[in-house]
Structure 1
Amino acid sequence: MQSRRAFLATMAASAIVANVSPAVARDLLDLDWADLIPEGDTGQLMEQLRGLGVVQHNQLSTGFEQLEASGVTDAFDGKTVRLPGFVVPLDFSASGVTEFILAPFVGACIHVPPPPANQLVLVSAKKPYVMKDMFDPVEVTGVFGTSSNQTELAEIGYTIMSAKVRLHRP
């Protein structure tokens, strides 16, 4: 009986330390940006954008037209996922950012043309996220969905709602 209690206590402590319940941890999918590109979309335009790096607005010769996406994938709809990326704030206050675009690279939507909609995620944070630096990568964990959204910065193909946001530690 004692070993069962010790096992259960260890499991509970692990869940508290990880801040994720054992059931969620078991069902959590770690995604990469390539997972969001539907089959048949080569992603070559994304590679071209990544090569730009962070540039000043007046250095762009292509303008700020968003690249076309061939579509989105619904393979992860309703699943709890974790995805690393960079924050492009949309709604923020003194307490932090509550709504933002998660982008695959630094400067997307601000210093370079927006990636295709299938490479952008609209995130609604559970708690305001305090940004220290826009160049810091984050990881977002929450319920994933396919949903077309339009902001003044870009068209977005996905959402993660009630997300937990923290610094990404590769």
Structure 2
Amino acid sequence: MRRFLLTILLLGTGLAHAGELPETDWLELMPKSDQKALEAMPEIDHNSPEGDGTFTEKGGMKQSKGLPAVMYSTKTVPSMNDKNIRIGGYPVPLESDAKGRSTLFFLVPYPGACIHVPPPPPNQLVLVRYPKGLKLDDIYTPLWVTGTLKVEKVNNDLADAAYALDAAKVRVVQESDL
């Protein structure tokens, strides 16, 4: 949990390049009641088959049972619907085109969310649709994603998300952004 909040703070230091939208903080996607519940939550045990390097045939990212309710929250912030945003995060590739470029991926707020359980709550996962595609060499590479955010519940074998984003632009975070 502390790592999650620290990553949010670190990503929150990014400055916009000329002509880019200001950054949307991940916590802006979460209602205040969920933010308070997340801050009060005890540390989560990451001991799991996925943590040991073994995965189910579906990948193993879905939430396991028995976590605090906030970890399953699909509560959204209605004012974020149809909003043009720029948000920083890390990709979890789902689909790619014939050239190997990722066209559909989850964006998560901290690195490693795709291999550590539990994953972020659904209201902290964004399904990104990017038909142009992006060559991803490393899922630990932070990205800026700009586009129109939709309040949209997405159910996937890998994870569930409460938001989807039709990306107009995706780029790697540069050192000059920090």
What TM-score comes out, normalization by structure 2 length? Answer: 0.68
Candidates 148, 155, 160, aligned match of 1:150: 155
User: Which residue in the other structure is 1:58 paired with?
Assistant: 52
User: Which residue in the other structure is 1:44 paired with?
Assistant: 39
Is residue 129–residue 165 contact of structure 1 (8 Å, CA) maintained in 2?
A: yes
Change (3 A) 1:56 1:149: closer
Does the alignment pair 1:75 with 2:69?
Answer: no
Is residue 109–residue 154 contact of structure 1 (8 Å, CA) maintained in 2?
A: no
Alignment of 1:104-119 (within 5 A): 104-119=109-124
Is residue 114–residue 153 contact of structure 1 (8 Å, CA) maintained in 2?
A: no
User: Counterparts of 2:73 and 2:131 in 1: how far apart (Å)?
Assistant: 29
Change (3 A) 1:68 1:135: same
* Cα root mean square deviation, aligned: 2.9
Is residue 126–residue 163 contact of structure 1 (8 Å, CA) maintained in 2?
A: no
- Deviating more after overlay: 70-79 vs 123-132: 70-79
Structure with more of its chain in helix, by fraction: 1
Change (3 A) 1:138 1:46: farther
Helix, strand or coil for the counterpart of 1:115?
coil
Residue 132 (structure 1) shift = 2.1
- Percent identity reads 33
Q: Max radius of gyration: which structure?
A: 1
Is residue 62–residue 159 contact of structure 2 (8 Å, CA) maintained in 1?
A: no
User: Which residue in the other structure is 1:32 paired with?
Assistant: 25
User: Counterparts of 1:47 and 1:80 in 2: how far apart (Å)?
Assistant: 34
User: Counterparts of 1:163 and 1:75 in 2: how far apart (Å)?
Assistant: 20
Residue 39 (structure 1) shift = 1.7
Change (3 A) 1:83 1:45: farther
User: Which residue in the other structure is 1:87 paired with?
Assistant: 91
User: Which residue in the other structure is 1:121 paired with?
Assistant: 126
Does the alignment pair 1:97 with 2:90?
Answer: no
The runs of 4+ residues in structure 1 deviating greater than 6 Å are none
Change (3 A) 1:114 1:161: same
Residue 32 (structure 1) shift = 0.8
Is residue 126–residue 164 contact of structure 1 (8 Å, CA) maintained in 2?
A: no
Residue 164 (structure 1) shift = 1.1
Residues 116-148 of structure 1: per-residue CA shift (max 9 Å, x gap): 111000000141111121111001000011110
User: Counterparts of 2:172 and 2:160 in 1: how far apart (Å)?
Assistant: 25
User: Counterparts of 2:160 and 2:128 in 1: how far apart (Å)?
Assistant: 13
Residue 162 (structure 1) shift = 3.4
Change (3 A) 1:45 1:98: farther
Bigger relative contact order (CA 8 A; separation at least 6):
2
Gaps of 5+ in 2: 1-16, 55-60, 65-70
Change (3 A) 1:70 1:101: closer
